[in-house]
Structure 1
């Protein structure tokens, strides 16, 4: 696994503090700072998500974050609307 700490500075705008990263059996994992907010799934199902411009901005930020991680050869492996936090 590429050293996540080396790449952390590149991800500061997208990812909170990483406490630990490593390998557990056949899986890669990281322990990150708690982020107060709601899941993307909950946000999309709320009235707060009715603003089209805000929806587009959040979608763009999510895609930029995924691209930045992939550029650094960091892959989530289980990315879905219930594990993306909107703060």
Structure 2
């Protein structure tokens, strides 16, 4: 699904990187009413790596962090968070 609307704000904080941007916020609007956001930054103070991908839905969310690449955090509304490990038999066959 491709976004129908797109808005991006970008900045250069580190003068030596200009004219390249080192920080950007993107908002995407989809035809079904869903909204997606992306924050891309090289200036997140205190975060050496910190690549995080988070997908938030109406019933659950998942989060992946590059510091723990073999794990996926699953949070289902009303239930405790779960950590799913790569290669485990409880995963769908497509995930294996």
Indicate whether the TM-score tops 0.5: no
Determine which structure has more spread, i.e. the larger CA radius of gyration: 2
TM-score by length of 1: 0.24
Name whichever structure is richer in strand by fraction.
2
Name whichever structure is richer in helix by fraction.
1
Structure with the larger RCO, 1 or 2 (CA within 8 Å, 6+ apart): 1
TM-score by length of 2: 0.23
